[in-house]
Amino acid sequence: MPYFFIANLYPFNNTSEKVFYNEHDVYSLSIKNKELVEFLENSVELKDGYIDFKKDYLSKISNEDELKKNKDSLIYVTDVLNYSAINTIKFEDFRNFPKKVLLYNTTKRDCECFTCLIGQLKLDKLIDKLLITDITDASDLQEDARLAYSHYKCGNIYQSYNLFEEIAQKAWHTGKYVVYFICKFNLKRLGHIIHWKEYKNLSSDLIQEISSKAEKIDLDAVYRHTNEISKEEAQLMKIIRDDEILDKASGYVADEYEKIKQIRKSLDNGSSTTTASRSEHVIDFHLITVDMFYNRNFIVNDVFSEYIDMYNTGVKALLLNYANYRDYSQEQISLDYEFCFYFIYYGKYSELKNTIAEYKIKDLHLDVESEEKVYDIIVNYYKSFIGNSGTFGRHEVNHKIYNQINKSSFDYKFVDIFDNISLLLGIIDFGKDKFKIISENLLNALKYTDIFHPSNVINLEYVFIGNTGYIDSEFGQNLLEILCDKPKLFTKEILDYVVHAFIDKDDSKKINNLDLINAVIETLESRSREVHSKTVSYLERIYKIVSSEHKQVIVDKAMDRLGKEFSNREYWDYVMNGIIKYDTFFDKYLENILSNSYQIHSYEFDYLFVGKKRTKPDMHFEFINFIRLLYKFDLLEKYNDVKDSFVDLRDYMIFYLNPERFDCENFKVEWLFCTYEPSVHRALSKISFVKSAFDSFIKEKKGAEYLELYTEYYL
């Protein structure tokens, strides 16, 4: 229940005055009833993580039935408070210290109810259970609502709608009017989303019929017609109708995020502002209260943008707060399981990725229990894809989950979770042993389902970045085998990630499977012929990850490609990456450069690169690559007269082709930023007028892109 609602219920408030809950006094409920607090203080205690009566109180009760009733009531009230994000109640006495009582029951683990299966991301077991569970006359109303809500969570909107209609009738006839109101609220919400969630599964006429029916539900009329409800029930219905708890939480989370950003700004500007704040606790509290209220009461809401945006904002705020402590405090803080679950389930990948990149977050620390639970749900998620054939324990596609995923309404949620887990794996170090199990299940998930898109595989970037030390040749070979079987997923980006992981490894740890190497070449060669493919420059990448024993295979393939259909770009890639010697096809390359030299001057989209930012037009990519090759292999003097073969060279081109004889009065330092090729700058830094000009330039200009080049080669 809402914390601000509980604060005014009897016996917590035994006065006629309204209690205004302090949202910043998180997880704690200040109440008016001093006697209740004193009674609990004297009568209850925590035993092994559970609330219980003290021995003194137990000795006063001789009736077993009364004792059981009191114990059940204590446990029930404590559970309600805990599920409302309250674990402490206190009486504020301004003349003395406040009296506090901790009321807490350890949450049960390994529960197989629908709610826990969703929370544990055991989606295969969730689907199995949904397929065999139904509502009956004898079934419990709360479990009925849990079933209907779980269908909604899995994207079965039509089934959820029908079940909530049935539950509404059952609740009305049994006098459960709050449940009835929630059902009507949910039916209206489900009617709003059925057209874009079930368009693949239902006829347009049926969708229109349900949408129209839901639209006609008048929640105010439902509210008015429930005459037999109490004042408290009426208030609770109003809170649900108006989304009051979500609106309050959204405001508080946004406000606290702004406070954290202001702290960061002050710290970056050299302020002595402390990193310490209560913002993270306030955000945690409101994220949990919204989660508990909507998901524990089976209220449809977490598919809508305001709900998702609040969680995404909260997660970004907690990431930034973590970075503030890491960068400006000696105190280390930890994040918890709830943070990770919200990150995975509600995070917006691109926004979280930008936050992580901006603040260079790569070392997220979790408490021990949270790390174990996060590890479990990641493995559970990947395992959900995998079925078992029963033959020697062999894996196969999990057809039940596959069919469910193919419903349009569940597909996007499933792959969003995949992307967010990939991102999280890049910033949490689970250790070598756990990562091996995670990676094995990740590969099986890719292998045994066809729901993933190239973008999902590209988003594995952070898995590679954060776990380079744990990625071995077995992982690399298995991934490449899967991508060869699913060529549409095989992109330039994923090949680059594999290269990044293997380029610095010992030769013995590189890929040594000749059949696989040939399969990769064949797959990427096929992909390179497709329109808009980015995989054309693949041989130099493969060359970097194969063992020395099989590098000649790549050399032969490169020679064969150039011999059949010469390409300047491919030749340059092969030479600059050491696959072939420059003089093998240099005459052909030079002939192409010279025969197309007119394009250097007519090309419309030339840019001078300063750092990574495009500035003014002034440079041709093809020419600069030509220059880079000449400098790297010390060919300037040998081909000194080549400039006479070009048509109408620009000044910067003349400079690069013969820098020592260039008129220093016409030299512009900006030309140096055409390339960051080390061999070019090592040569140019030896020319006195170039170095002198750069010395003067750096005194006038400020910017990391200038200073980095200057200090590395010209200082």
List pLDDT tens digits, range 659-715. 999 999 999 998 998 888 999 999 999 999 999 999 999 888 766 778 888 999 998
Q: What does the pLDDT read at residue 399?
A: 77
Pick from 15-24, 173-182, 297-306: least confident:
15-24
**Residue 444 clears pLDDT 80, i.e. is over it:** yes
What is the distance between the alpha carbons of residues 126 and 401, in angstroms, rounded to a whole number? 9
Give the separation between CA 665 and CA 670, rounded to whole angstroms: 14
Q: Is residue 584 part of a domain?
A: no
Q: Are 296 and 384 members of one domain?
A: no
Q: Is residue 663 part of a domain?
A: yes
Q: For 382-407, what is the mean pLDDT?
A: 73
Is there a single domain that holds both residue 249 and residue 192? no
User: Is 400 in contact with 124 (CB distance < 8 Å)?
Assistant: yes
CA distances from 480 to 126, 474, 499, 519 (A): 31, 10, 11, 9
Q: What is the pLDDT of residues 296-312, one digit of tens each?
A: 999 999 989 999 999 99
DSSP class of residue 695 equals H
Q: Do 682 and 612 share a domain, yes or no? A: yes
In a domain, 538, yes or no: no
Contact 129, 76 (CB under 8 A): no
Instruction: Answer yes or no: are the C-beta atoms of 115 and 152 closer than 8 Å.
Output: no
C-alpha angle 557-563-568 in degrees, rounded to nearest 5? 95
pLDDT digits (tens, 9 = 90+) for 139-169: 999 999 999 999 999 989 999 999 999 999 9
Q: Which residues contact 310 (CB under 8 A, 6 or more apart)?
A: 246, 249, 250, 253, 254, 287, 290
Same domain, 289 and 311: yes
> How many domains, the chain?
5
Q: Which residue has the tokens 């606790």?
A: 281
Query: What's the pTM value of the predicted model, to 2 decimals?
Result: 0.85
Final residue in a domain of this structure, among 450, 470, 490: 470
Q: Please state, in angstroms and rounded to a whole number, the distance separating the CA atoms of residues 518 and 421.
A: 32
- Give the pLDDT band of residue 598 (cuts 50, 70, 90): very low
Does one domain contain both 24 and 8? yes
Structural domain including 46 reads 3-102
Q: Which two tokens stand for residue 257?
A: 């995020």
| Residues 179/146, Cβ–Cβ less than 8 Å | no
Coil, strand, or helix at residue 316?
helix
Beta-carbon contacts of residue 314 (< 8 Å; ≥ 6 apart)? 253, 257, 283, 286, 287, 342
With 90 as the cut, is the pLDDT of residue 89 above it? no
308-344: burial string, b at 16+ Cβ within 10 Å, e else? bbbbbbbbbbbbbbbbbbbebeeeeeebbbebbbbbb
* Amino acid occupying residue 194: I
Q: Return the residue matching tokens 């639970």.
A: 373
pLDDT tens by residue, 625-662: 999 999 999 998 888 787 778 777 788 888 999 999 99
Q: Judge if 273 and 225 occupy the same domain.
A: no
For residue 282, being part of any structural domain is answered with yes
The pLDDT of residue 107 is above 90 = no
What is residue 558's predicted lDDT score, i.e. its pLDDT? Answer: 92
* Residues near 511 by beta carbon (within 8 Å), at least 6 away in sequence: 473, 476, 477, 480, 502, 517, 545, 546, 547, 550
pLDDT of 295 above 70: yes
SS3 content of the chain, % helix, strand, coil (to 5): 65, 5, 30
Dihedral sign, Cα of residue 278, residue 281, residue 283, residue 285: negative
Residue 551 lies in a domain: no
Instruction: Pull the structure tokens for residue 398.
Output: 């999990």
Residues 706 and 648 placed together within one structural domain of the fold: yes
595 belongs to a structural domain: no
What mean pLDDT value characterizes the chain?
A: 85
Q: Which residue has the higher pLDDT, 255 or 650?
A: 255
Q: What is the per-residue burial (b if ≥16 Cβ within 10 Å, else e) of 13-42? A: beeeeebebebebbbbbbbbbeebbeebbe
Least confident of 60-69, 90-99, 214-223, 275-284: 90-99
**Is residue 263 predicted with pLDDT exceeding 80?**
yes
Residue 283, token pair as written in the block: 């955000």
- Evaluate whether 76 touches 90 at the Cβ level (below 8 Å): no
Question: What number is the average pLDDT over the span 182-195?
Answer: 94
Which range (19-33, 197-211, 443-457) has the least confidence? 19-33
SS3 assignment, position 98: coil
Domain co-membership, 186 together with 285: no
Contact 560, 552 (CB under 8 A): no
- Tell which of 294, 314, 334 closes a domain: 334
User: 132 and 77 share a domain?
Assistant: no
Tokens of 332: 């280390």
* Burial of 181 per CB tally in 10 Å (0-12, 13-18, 19+): buried
Q: Hey, what amino acid is at 714?
A: Y
In a domain, 530, yes or no: no
From 440, 470, 500, give the residue that closes a domain.
470
> How far, CA to CA in Å, does 121 sit from each of 154, 192, 205, 368, 410?
11, 26, 34, 20, 14
Residue 652 lies in a domain: yes
SS3 36: helix
CB 342 within 8 A of CB 311: yes
At 29, phi and psi to the nearest 5?
A: -115, 115
Q: What is the pLDDT of residues 458-488, one digit of tens each?
A: 999 999 989 988 988 889 899 999 999 999 9
| C-alpha span between 683 and 663 (Å, rounded) | 17
Same domain? For 642 and 696 the reply is: yes
Helix (H) or strand (E) holding 162: helix 157-173
Cβ atoms of 289 and 231 closer than 8 Å: no
Q: Rounded to an integer, what distance in angstroms lies between the CA atom of residue 443 and that of residue 450?
A: 13
- Grouping H, G, I as helix, E, B as strand and the rest as coil, residue 100 is strand
Please indicate, yes or no, whether residues 328 and 438 belong to a single structural domain of this protein: no
Neighbouring-strand partners of residue 102: 88
Element (H, E) at 397: strand 395-397
Residue type, position 169, single letter: Q
Instruction: Quickly count: other Cβ atoms within 10 Å of residue 261's Cβ.
Output: 15
Please give the distance of CA 93 from its chain centroid, rounded to a whole number.
45
> C-alpha distances in angstroms, 404 versus 264, 384, 412, 444, 486?
44, 12, 12, 18, 21
Task: Report whether 240 contacts 184 (CB < 8 A).
Answer: no
Is the same domain home to 256 and 320? Answer: yes
